[in-house]
Chains A and B, each alone.
Chain A
Amino acid sequence: MPGGSGSLSQARPALAPDGMPDMSKSLFVPMWLRPQIRSGRSRPPVGIVLLSVFAASLLLLPMGYLLFRATGVESGVWRELWSASTGRILGRSLMLVIGVNACVWLLSLPLAWLVVFSDLPGRRVWTVLVATPLVVPSYIGAFVLIAMYGPRGLLQQWLEPLGVERLPSLYGYPGALIAITLFTYPYLFLGLRSAMLSLDQSWLDAARTLGQSGWKTFANLLLPVLRPALAAGSILVSLYTLSDFGAVALLRYTTFTHAIYLYWQSSLDVSAAALLMLVLVILTLVLMGLEFALRGRARMARAHAGTSRAVTPVRLGRWKYAAWLLLGGTVFMGMGNPIVVSVVWLAKGLAAGSSLQPVWQAAANSLLVSLLAAVTAVLVFAVPTAYLAERYRGLRARLPARAAYIGFGMPGIAVALSLVFFGARHAPWVYQTVYLLILGYMVRFATLAIGPLRTQLSRINPRMEEAGRLLGLSEIRVLGRVTTPVARGGLLTGAALVFLTTMKELPVTLLLAPTGFNTLATRIWSATEEAFYARAAAPTLILLLVSALGIAAIFSGEDV
């Protein structure tokens, strides 16, 4: 039997069932890294099933609404919608998705590696700072980019003494690419970080002993191990890119969702918009297929006794300057820009005598609903659905986890209207209360909590749970006492993602919150909408500060 953590055991026959990649054929042969078989349990506990049926039906609600609405469409609209321009705009959306994914991978892989594996001081602080840009609403992010780097932005004004009359145009594809990359890369970064943290030093040692160079270790060990996290992060980034229209509108790059929104906004024709939205749902399904392929079927977990060792930090040496530059540059682009622009607005506004409005109530409301959303997403949605998807076979087990992607790929206004329809007509007792608001957030964001947890669960050996069962615990208690504590990293990462995304959420909040309920995001929107930039500055700064503190608090749980 294999001994302690670092020791190399003698090779045992790999338990690779048919159709699964046999890891024993790879260059080095860490036997304990073989693909894990999903445990052959066939019937999940009733509680888990009930919870996930509840989750799935709620998550599929918007799709039912779209189907219902789309049946009312007039035949003339069909012809108009399936014109050449629809295809062209769809093509633009896809180009943006591909570009953003490429940029996000290039940015997130080194960032995550630096905060996990390097000897850089203050890695916890860097993690928080690098993750916080996720909280910048995309329309603010785009506005700020234009204000800073637009043809006549602040940068040009500072460069004017040097004779710079105009900066090259930011509008169109490049601007949209930069903006969406900057405000979505944390999805991949946080997922990768959580996956990297659960790496075992003994795996790296084994690679080293087998004579692998750093690059080969990366290609043969890290990449395969990180595949689930890469897949989970990429699909989130892609769906966000598909569903966003705030940033692309300002940067003047018309995408499919933006076109639907414009069509709906000017005609208020829900049927035609619903029909187009179903195209978006089909795209989401295609992306899910890609995610499934990228994730792969292999499950890698420690199979030997002992505990995993934390990774020994890599000394950066001279490279540390490059690392500082990368981290600092990213944080400046993501957080520095909004801060600079807000401070400029604030100074101008105060100089012109506008008064600041107190936003503490809005800040408290934002914190309250975002924390509630994070906790509910993790406990009620992520734990049962992720457990079912990772530990049981078949479509039925995976359906709830899949259904969660649909709400995230839809524009928020569609999800909000579907819940307005459902709530006002069939559930007036929860309509316009915080409860329906939280459910709305769940439909949109539950998937953010499910992804990291699935990644983490795939890394936990089912044998460990079976040991719990052998010792007489029920499956539910094993989930509570064995699985959940071990998967803590995934739970916290999921909670952080939901928290940050809810902090900036706008359309669901506007339509479903109790009347008169303000959050920081609604305050910022309301002020910028009518060009009261000075009034938007203070809530923007507070949003960044509160969110940074919030995720610092969430990640402090990793110590325990």
Chain B
Amino acid sequence: MLTPDNPCVIHPERVVQWTRPKQQTYKETICFNPITMNGYLSQTLCGSLRGTIASRLLCGFFLCLTAGLAACTMPVPESQTLVVYSGRNENLVAPVIESFAAETGIKVEVRYGGTSAMAATILEEGSNSPADVFYGQDAGALGALAKAGRLQVLPEDVQSLVDPAWVAADGSWIGTSLRARVLVYNTDELTVEDLPANIHDLTDEQWRGRVGWAPTNGSFQAFVTALRVLEGEEAAKAWLEGMIANDVQVYPKNTPIVAATGVGEISVGLVNHYYLLRFLAEDPEFTAANYHFAEAGPGSMVNVAGAGIVDSCSNCEAAEAFVRYLLSQEAQGYFLSTTHEYPVAGGQVDLPSGAVPLDTVALPEIDLSDLEDLEGTLALLRAIGALE
């Protein structure tokens, strides 16, 4: 029986003989899974790559056709598997998902993509969405799904696992790990003493053309929302305009900022804390370090990655078990040690060397529900031309 996890079945009955005018006979064995079409065309594609173009094209078409027919006669497998749409990267979260599957025996299928693209996919799929869980890396996309009514309210006892600051106001999604905003700096050029105490000093003349930011990035936009909430609309506008007047360098996202800081293209950059730790893991000589602003303020705010259960889930119990697992001590410890994010639950975990404990960082007084007005932030960024 062909199933998606038995990807290669040889069909002896489908060994096809092609007879060409010169009485040469080519044999072909097809070995593949027609459901996912994962697999290989064994031996060769229709004898050999030599032959007339017409026969080769015909051969390709024949392959499509057989595959199509096979799929029509094949029963669609009952979906007893948990389907996760992950806006978080495979390289980061696949180990957690695998250990969830191993521990609970629940089969998990994961679709990876950008956080916005995965959220938009669920919105477009409507009630036919195969997704049970949405796992995203910024509050914006989770909030958009919640606003469209596509996320179920999580049970009370799941919500109570984490600090209420990291649960959506309506309980439709929950933070699973934390990422701090920092200033990354080039260690060849600067020492901690040279760095500003808050974001406002970055508009000084000495930083002209030396600062990088990513105004199109979700985490940066959450930071601007925090700035508006904490210091008011006028102050936020003045700071953004001051930065632009100070020739701030624009990048599309965090990674190129960290890369540019490391090579000295810019001196400092406003980013999330964990990117640098990954650069250092690949290249210990990388000349950059993270700096948490000394004064509590929006510059040292904390963002969340989070998960929610899709309203049209077909495996809702497994989905709940998955969300619970993300909050377990094991998963939280993994985030801390491997993806370099801060945990939201799971009790005390030992920090790896080099990580700054979050409780020593001067955090601003802000929680998730304060960060809902993304539209206001976008309007502000557009109005001052920061998004061009």
Does A434 contact B123, Cβ atoms closer than 8 Å? no
Bound Cα distance from A249 to B120, whole angstroms: 21
Q: Across the two chains, which residue of chain A brings its CB closest to B263?
A: A152
Does A434 contact B36, Cβ atoms closer than 8 Å? yes
Note all chain A residues with C-beta closer than 8 A to B126.
421, 424-425
A492 interface residue, CB < 8 Å from B? yes
Chain A contacts with B in 128-164, Cβ cutoff 8 A: 143, 146, 150-153
Other A-B pairs, 6, CB within 8 Å; known A268-B141, A425-B126: A352-B282, A372-B63, A378-B57, A515-B130, A516-B110, A553-B49
Does A153 contact B53, Cβ atoms closer than 8 Å? no
Chain A contacts with B in 388-437, Cβ cutoff 8 A: 413, 416-417, 420-421, 424-425, 428-429, 431-435
Note all chain B residues with C-beta closer than 8 A to A378.
57
Bound Cα distance from A67 to B129, whole angstroms: 23
Chain B 156-194 near chain A by CB (<8 Å), digits 1 or 0: 000000000000000000000000000000000000000
Chain B 278-309 near chain A by CB (<8 Å), digits 1 or 0: 11011110000000000000000000000000
B124 interface residue, CB < 8 Å from A? yes
Does A85 contact B388, Cβ atoms closer than 8 Å? yes
Bound Cα distance from A480 to B264, whole angstroms: 61
B28 interface residue, CB < 8 Å from A? no
Q: Give the residue of A153, A432, A553 whose beta carbon is less than 8 angstroms from that of B130.
A: A432
Q: Can you list 13 A-B pairs, Cβ within 8 angstroms, ordered by A?
A: A254-B387, A364-B40, A368-B41, A375-B60, A417-B121, A420-B121, A433-B35, A488-B53, A492-B53, A507-B117, A526-B90, A531-B275, A531-B279
CB distance from A461 to the nearest CB of B (A): 21
Does A250 contact B256, Cβ atoms closer than 8 Å? yes
Q: Across the two chains, which residue of chain A brings its CB closest to B216?
A: A262
Q: Across the two chains, which residue of chain B brings its CB closest to A153?
A: B263
Does A515 contact B110, Cβ atoms closer than 8 Å? yes
Bound Cα distance from A266 to B282, whole angstroms: 30
Q: A265-B216, A511-B113, A531-B278 known; A417 and B124 CB under 8 Å?
A: yes
Q: A429-B76, A433-B71, A532-B278 known; A267 and B374 CB under 8 Å?
A: yes
Interface size on A, residues (CB 8 A): 80
Q: A252-B251, A259-B387, A433-B35 known; A375 and B57 CB under 8 Å?
A: yes
Q: Give the residue of B112, B124, B218, B251 whose beta carbon is less than 8 angstroms from that of A526.
A: B112
Bound Cα distance from A2 to B120, whole angstroms: 64
Bound Cα distance from A378 to B129, whole angstroms: 33
Note all chain A residues with C-beta closer than 8 A to B61.
375-376, 379
B243 interface residue, CB < 8 Å from A? no
- Shortest Cβ-Cβ A-B pairs, 3 listed: A375-B60, A424-B125, A152-B263
Note all chain A residues with C-beta closer than 8 A to B385.
85
Q: Across the two chains, which residue of chain A brings its CB closest to B109?
A: A515
A468 interface residue, CB < 8 Å from B? no
A270 interface residue, CB < 8 Å from B? yes
Bound Cα distance from A413 to B116, whole angstroms: 11
A224 interface residue, CB < 8 Å from B? no
Q: Across the two chains, which residue of chain B brings its CB closest to A147?
A: B259
State the main secondary structure of chain A at its contact with B. helix
A560 interface residue, CB < 8 Å from B? yes
Note all chain B residues with C-beta closer than 8 A to A434.
36-37, 67
Note all chain A residues with C-beta closer than 8 A to B123.
268, 270
Does A515 contact B111, Cβ atoms closer than 8 Å? yes
Does A527 contact B216, Cβ atoms closer than 8 Å? no
Does B120 contact A517, Cβ atoms closer than 8 Å? no
CB distance from B94 to the nearest CB of A (A): 10
Q: A266-B218, A435-B68 known; A526 and B89 CB under 8 Å?
A: yes
Bound Cα distance from A266 to B222, whole angstroms: 11
A354 interface residue, CB < 8 Å from B? yes
Does B53 contact A557, Cβ atoms closer than 8 Å? yes
Q: A85-B385, A413-B117 known; A527 and B53 CB under 8 Å?
A: no
A514 interface residue, CB < 8 Å from B? yes
Does A527 contact B252, Cβ atoms closer than 8 Å? no
Q: A267-B374, A511-B117, A526-B112 known; A372 and B60 CB under 8 Å?
A: yes
Note all chain A residues with C-beta closer than 8 A to B91.
526-527, 530, 532, 535
B356 interface residue, CB < 8 Å from A? no
Does B89 contact A529, Cβ atoms closer than 8 Å? yes
Bound Cα distance from A266 to B378, whole angstroms: 8
Does A424 contact B124, Cβ atoms closer than 8 Å? yes
Bound Cα distance from A368 to B32, whole angstroms: 11
Does B117 contact A560, Cβ atoms closer than 8 Å? no
CB distance from B7 to the nearest CB of A (A): 9
Bound Cα distance from A262 to B50, whole angstroms: 47
Does A556 contact B49, Cβ atoms closer than 8 Å? yes
Bound Cα distance from A197 to B267, whole angstroms: 54
Note all chain B residues with C-beta closer than 8 A to A435.
68, 71
Note all chain B residues with C-beta closer than 8 A to A531.
255, 258-259, 275, 278-279, 282
Chain A contacts with B in 468-511, Cβ cutoff 8 A: 480, 484-485, 488, 491-492, 507, 510-511
A264 interface residue, CB < 8 Å from B? yes
Q: Give the residue of A80, A349, A365, A417 whose beta carbon is less than 8 angstroms from that of B120.
A: A417
Bound Cα distance from A355 to B353, whole angstroms: 22
Note all chain A residues with C-beta closer than 8 A to B64.
372, 375-376
Note all chain A residues with C-beta closer than 8 A to B374.
266-267
Bound Cα distance from A88 to B258, whole angstroms: 30
Bound Cα distance from A557 to B46, whole angstroms: 14
Chain A contacts with B in 93-108, Cβ cutoff 8 A: none
Chain B 58-73 near chain A by CB (<8 Å), digits 1 or 0: 0011011001100100
Bound Cα distance from A421 to B278, whole angstroms: 36
Note all chain A residues with C-beta closer than 8 A to B378.
263, 266-267
CB distance from A464 to the nearest CB of B (A): 17
Q: A420-B125, A424-B128 known; A515 and B251 CB under 8 Å?
A: no
B54 interface residue, CB < 8 Å from A? yes
Bound Cα distance from A527 to B39, whole angstroms: 23
Which among A152, A354, A553 has the greatest number of chain B C-beta atoms within 10 A? A152
Note all chain A residues with C-beta closer than 8 A to B250.
252
Note all chain A residues with C-beta closer than 8 A to B141.
268
Q: Across the two chains, which residue of chain A brings its CB closest to B92?
A: A530
Note all chain A residues with C-beta closer than 8 A to B283.
348, 352
B38 interface residue, CB < 8 Å from A? yes
Q: A252-B250, A265-B216, A267-B378 known; A150 and B60 CB under 8 Å?
A: no
CB distance from B261 to the nearest CB of A (A): 10
A203 interface residue, CB < 8 Å from B? no
Does A270 contact B109, Cβ atoms closer than 8 Å? no
Chain B 9-44 near chain A by CB (<8 Å), digits 1 or 0: 000000000000000000000000001111111000
Does B36 contact A371, Cβ atoms closer than 8 Å? no
Note all chain A residues with C-beta closer than 8 A to B63.
372
Which among B37, B112, B125, B129 has the greatest number of chain A C-beta atoms within 10 A? B37
B348 interface residue, CB < 8 Å from A? no
A53 interface residue, CB < 8 Å from B? no
B208 interface residue, CB < 8 Å from A? no
Note all chain A residues with C-beta closer than 8 A to B60.
371-372, 375, 379
Note all chain B residues with C-beta closer than 8 A to A534.
282
B211 interface residue, CB < 8 Å from A? no
Chain B contacts with A in 65-89, Cβ cutoff 8 A: 67-68, 71, 76, 83, 89
Q: A262-B387, A349-B282 known; A368 and B109 CB under 8 Å?
A: no
CB distance from A125 to the nearest CB of B (A): 17
Does A150 contact B265, Cβ atoms closer than 8 Å? yes
Q: Across the two chains, which residue of chain A brings its CB closest to B60?
A: A375
B375 interface residue, CB < 8 Å from A? yes
Note all chain B residues with C-beta closer than 8 A to A88.
388
Chain B 375-388 near chain A by CB (<8 Å), digits 1 or 0: 10010001001011
Bound Cα distance from A86 to B53, whole angstroms: 48
Q: Give the residue of B38, B51, B53 whose beta carbon is less than 8 angstroms from that of A365.
A: B38
Bound Cα distance from A361 to B250, whole angstroms: 38
Bound Cα distance from A376 to B62, whole angstroms: 11
Bound Cα distance from A378 to B38, whole angstroms: 23
A441 interface residue, CB < 8 Å from B? no
Note all chain B residues with C-beta closer than 8 A to A254.
387-388
A533 interface residue, CB < 8 Å from B? yes
